[in-house]
Structure 1
Amino acid sequence: MIDIDAVKRLNVQDGDLLVVPEDSDSHDMELLINALYVLMPSRKVIIIRGPVQQLDVGDMNKLGWYRA
């Protein structure tokens, strides 16, 4: 269920990364992406469960991620 008091206006741009709380339900995430598609069908966004942290290239390599 969405906490209406926690709703904030989003100014979603093409290519944005949206981070939702890590306890978010998969179904609610699907509802969010569907609502965004209705409002902005040509924009592409990525929705992930948080938390997110920025890693440097060395840390990403240690995790098996390599920059192309």
Structure 2
Amino acid sequence: MIDIDQVRRLNVQDGDLLVVPENSEDEGMQQLCEALRYLIPDGKVIIVRGPIEQLDVGDMNKLGWHRA
């Protein structure tokens, strides 16, 4: 389960990035996704198991992320 006290933002808006603790379980992540689909049916939200670190473009490309 996700420790809801550790979620950094609860007023979720379309386009938000949510960072949850890195020890969050898959089941909790799935429940969070389902809840967000219910609350923001057409919203686009990215959920990342923390921590977040700054990467340069080359590192992002190696991981399959591409800057638009």
**Normalising by the residue count of structure 2, what TM-score does the alignment of the two structures yield?**
0.71
Amino acid at match of 2:62: G
CA distance in 2 between counterparts of 1:17 and 1:56 reads 18
Q: How many residues align?
A: 65
Unaligned runs of 5+ in 1: none
Identity %: 60
- Residue 57 of structure 1: how far off its partner (Å): 3.0
TM (norm. structure 1) is 0.71
Give the SS at the match of 2:47.
strand
Identify unmatched segments of 5+ residues in structure 2. none
Cα distance change on mapping 1:51 and 1:12 into 2, 3 Å: same
State the Cα RMSD in Å: 2.7
Q: Give 4+ residue runs of structure 1 displaced > 3 Å after superposition.
A: 1-4, 65-68
Per-residue CA distance 1:41-63 (angstroms, 9 max, x = gap): 011111111101112335x26x7
Q: Which residue of 1 aligns with 2:29?
A: 29
Matches within 5 A, 1:8-27: 10-27=10-27
Per the alignment, residue 42 of structure 1 pairs with: 42
